[in-house]
Chains A and B, each alone.
Chain A
Amino acid sequence: MATVGVLCGRVRVEEKLIAAALTEVGVSPRPVTPAGLPLPPTPMPTPIPPAPAAAGGLAGGLLLDRGQDRAVATALLAAARVCGAIVLDAGIAASGDRLAVASTLATAGVPRPTTHLACTEEAALIALADVGYPATLLPLPFGSAAVALLDADTAEAVVEHRSVLGTGRAALALVQAGIWPTSARVRLVVVDGEAVATLPGAEARPAALHIAESTARALGAAMLGVDIVYTAGGPVVWDVAPVPEFRHATPLGGKTVAEAIAELIQRRLPSPELVPAPPATVEFTHPGTFTIRLGEETRHGVVLSA
């Protein structure tokens, strides 16, 4: 039975649903938990033995990103790729931040609210004056809570507070036009280019499905949560979620999110002949002779020197 690593700090309801769907199609899921032991940054053997559970997901197999801690996940996914693993993640949303996503979507022509990057308190206030009120301040890391700014007084207090507390990357934020509480957004879950589910109660119009699918395509995301809002100018992408929750999601078609992920994994599983061969070992048996072992094959040789 093929095995797939599922990167997750904790096995939540979503990961249990994915595990059940994978088992149903004959694939064995293995939780890959960032452990206390160091991970190999390269495929070469390292003097420190890697964490067994994590190494299992990195060794030339397939790794599904469900990492809740995005800083840890970003580092681990990069290591997994270097080690030859096929990684299924949210593409630029998995490795980047809200700025990277906003820039990529703008370049791809996917509709978004008017947005500015603010690097300083002054820049934030100028940006807010441009987009008008109400507006939203979005910190760059995914998962960081957005701040609704109803008027200039609130905005000044919030921006000043941030600039006092935050330094470096923590002080950066996107300023987006409008405020959209979660209840006013449509969350769509896209798997392998197709919007497969929406959160209950959310109306998913065809234009929203199209934009969500375009978003996943632009970001190179195997799976992604896309928050759409219906503005006066039409639907736009408000935010994305690299590792969306979907326990309460309603399927748009005949399959659940977990089933769609299991199908995707089935399609992407490396065929046995493509799995990288185990590294060769060289052993010097006697002075001047050596043995190379590559898988089941063994070759003997003699050292020639000038």
Chain B
Amino acid sequence: MDVGCPECGAEFELSGVEQGEIVTCPECGVELEVLSVDPISLGLAPEEG
């Protein structure tokens, strides 16, 4: 399904992911956490450290 990056607003295709998985936005490169899968929602991944 098409999802939107909460950081840059880019839309991209994402499927076969699990809740809690970290994906990278293909446009701005930010790390995103899969918050839910049905439907898929994304949030900024917590920063390390």
Contact = CB atoms under 8 A, between A and B. Distances in A.
Interface of A: 10-13, 16, 247
A13 B8 CA distance: 4
B9 interface: yes
A92 B6 CA distance: 29
B30 A10 contact: yes
Interface of B: 7-9, 27-30
Nearest to B29: A10
Contacts of A11: 8, 27-28
A13 B29 CA distance: 13
Contacts, number: 18
| Chain B binding surface, main DSSP class | loop
| Chain A binding surface, main DSSP class | loop
B18 to A, nearest CB: 25
List of 3 A-B pairs having minimum Cβ-Cβ separation, nearest first: A10-B28, A13-B9, A12-B8
A13 B27 CA distance: 11
B29 A16 contact: no
Contacts of A16: 8-9
Contacts of A12: 7-9, 28
A16 B29 CA distance: 15
18 contacts: A10-B7, A10-B8, A10-B28, A10-B29, A10-B30, A11-B8, A11-B27, A11-B28, A12-B7, A12-B8, A12-B9, A12-B28, A13-B7, A13-B8, A13-B9, A16-B8, A16-B9, A247-B9
Contacts of A10: 7-8, 28-30
Interface centre among B9, B27, B29 (most CB of A within 10 A): B9
A13 B28 CA distance: 10
B29 to A, nearest CB: 6
Contacts of A247: 9
A173 B16 CA distance: 44
A10 B28 CA distance: 5
Given A11-B27, A13-B9, 16 more contacts: A10-B7, A10-B8, A10-B28, A10-B29, A10-B30, A11-B8, A11-B28, A12-B7, A12-B8, A12-B9, A12-B28, A13-B7, A13-B8, A16-B8, A16-B9, A247-B9
Contacts of B9: 12-13, 16, 247
A247 B28 CA distance: 16
A16 B7 CA distance: 11
B12 to A, nearest CB: 15
B8 to A, nearest CB: 5
Nearest to B7: A12
Contacts of B8: 10-13, 16
A10 B7 CA distance: 9
A11 B29 CA distance: 9
Contacts of B30: 10
Nearest to A8: B28
B17 to A, nearest CB: 21
